[in-house]
Amino acid sequence: MPAWICRTCGVQYPDSAQPPGGCAICLDERQYVGWGGQQWTTMAELGGDRQVVIREEEPGLSGVGVEPAFAIGQRALLVQTPGGNVLWDCVSLLDDAARARITELGGIDAICLSHPHFYGVNVEFADAFGARIFIPRADEQWIQRPSPRIELFDDDAEPVPGLTLARIGGHFDGAAVLHWPAGSEGRGALLTGDTITVVADRDWVSFMWSYPNLIPLDEVTVLDIARRVERFAFDRVYGGWWGRVVVADGAAAVRRSADRYVARIHGERP
C-alpha cells in the first residue's frame, strides 16, 4: 500500500489503500488546502519527474532539496560532525542517487525538524539510514506518520554530541532550532527552518504564526524567541530555503529583527 504525501505541504501519511480524508497540516489555519482541493501523491510518483539535489552550503553542511520544487519548496540541511550526522528538516523525496550521496557523506544518525510543515518523508529517511527522529512533545499532535524511531523531547535535546536542538516556540509551540557550534568556521551557525525565517533582506529575519496567510505573532512571543537563542553563539542563520542565509552577524540580526517587529506592532516607524 502506498504512503500518501499531501501535494500542498509535502507531508507523508502512513500506508493505506485509500488516501486520508484530509491533511491535518493543511486544514490548520497556518496552512491552506490547495486551490484545486486536497490532492495526494506518493514518493514513487514524485521520483518519476523530480530528483533530490544535494549541494554543499559550507564545509560540513550540505543542502538537500527537490527539483523541480515540490509543495512548500524547502531545502533540508545535512550537518556532518565527528560524533555523527544530523539531517535538519526534511523533503518529500528520497531517491537512489541521494541515498548513495548521503551514504558517502557519512549517513544520518538523527533527524531533527523545525516544525510540522517540514516533516516531509522523515520516516523514509530514518528507515533508510537507521536514524533517530527528534520531535518536541509540544508538537506530538502534528505527527502524521508514527514510527518507533520518533523520540519526544521537552525543551532541549542533543541529537549527536555537540549539537543542541532547542524548542523556542512561536510558529508552532514545538518550533525548534538547531545550534551547530562548528559552523561558519567555528563562529557558529543556527539552523532555523522558519521557526526564525530569513527574509529577502538577508541582514534581517522575521517571525510569524502563519507565513502563507500572513498571521503575525505577539510581542511577548517574539521577544521570548529572541531571548531563547541568546545563549547560543552564532554568526550564520540558515533559513529553510536555498539562499535564505544570514551570512554574518546572525545573533545581532535576530536581536534587531525582534526589536523592529515589536516597534512596528507599537506603530513606531523609522
Interface with Zn ion includes 24 (CB under 5 A)? no
Interface with Zn ion includes 8 (CB under 5 A)? yes
Longest dimension (CA), the chain: 57
In terms of DSSP bridges, do strands 189-193 and 236-239 run parallel, antiparallel, or are they unpaired?
parallel
Interface with Zn ion includes 258 (CB under 5 A)? no
Segment contacting Zn ion by CB under 5 A, of 20-28, 45-53, 116-124, 134-142 = 20-28
> Which residues, including other chains, have CB under 8 Å from residue 144's CB and lie 6 or more apart?
11, 12, 13, 14, 23, 24, 25, 116, 119
Interface with Zn ion includes 138 (CB under 5 A)? no
Segment contacting Zn ion by CB under 5 A, of 18-26, 52-60, 144-152, 236-244 = 18-26
Q: Residue 55: helix, strand or coil by DSSP?
A: strand
The correct pick among 5, 23, 66, 135 for binding Zn ion (CB under 5 A) is: 23
Interface with Zn ion includes 25 (CB under 5 A)? yes
Segment contacting Zn ion by CB under 5 A, of 21-29, 50-58, 78-86, 114-122 = 21-29
Residue with smaller CB distance to Zn ion, 23 or 93: 23
Positive/negative CA dihedral, 58, 170, 202, 255 = negative
The correct pick among 4, 5, 13, 26 for binding Zn ion (CB under 5 A) is: 26
Residue with smaller CB distance to Zn ion, 26 or 191: 26
Residue with smaller CB distance to Zn ion, 25 or 110: 25
Helices within the chain (DSSP H only): 24-27, 43-49, 96-104, 122-129, 219-228, 250-265
**C-beta atoms surrounding 188 within 10 Å:** 18
Interface with Zn ion includes 178 (CB under 5 A)? no
> What is the Cα 67 distance to its own chain's centre?
17
The footprint of Zn ion (CB under 5 A) covers 6, 8-9, 23, 25-26
